[in-house]
Amino acid sequence: MKKTVLIFFLITTLHASDNKKASEIFNFIVKVITKKENSNVYIHTNISSLKVYSGSLRIVADCDKADLVLLSTTKNLPPECNKKILFGSRYSHLKNPNVIGSFFWQKGRPNILFYQKRLKKHNINLDTSFNRYIENK
């Protein structure tokens, strides 16, 4: 076991901690959308934080079995996924009208944004703590 001072320990744990935090946020959002403790999630194509820490999410290999689809890109999305609830990881994913919301970075800060009409289309009611992240579009 290496002897390591706190400074270096903290530096090396930062990246891991980053991924863990991002995973927690994805987990939280999915839980609020699906109202399930353990949701089936299809990832198109790769979200690194969930690759490392999937949390309570069950990552499935087939869109048909998913409660929700998380996107790292909207390109080449399998057609069967379009029937599912789509959630993005970039601001630009919201340009796709089937994407209900996104968790993304902007101006050096992480952001979450949902569009009200798209939530209604899927009969999704988020809890009130998400009110500030919903836009009337």
User: Amino acid identity, residue 91?
Assistant: Y
- As measured in angstroms, the least distance from the Cβ of 21 to other proteins is 4
Under rule CB under 8 A, residue 14 binds other proteins: yes
> Rounded distance, CA 76 to CA 5, Å?
47
> Rounded distance, CA 133 to CA 102, Å?
10
Residue numbers 23-62 binding other proteins by CB under 8 A: 24-25, 28-29, 32
Contact 103, 32 (CB under 8 A): no
Pick from 34, 55, 52, 99: nearest CA to 73: 99
Q: Which residue has the tokens 């198109």?
A: 44
Residue (9 or 64) nearer to other proteins, CB:
9
Residue numbers 117-136 binding other proteins by CB under 8 A: 129-130, 132-133, 135
Please report, as ranges, the residues that interact with other proteins according to CB under 8 A.
2-11, 13-15, 17-18, 20-22, 24-25, 28-29, 32, 90-92, 104-113, 129-130, 132-133, 135
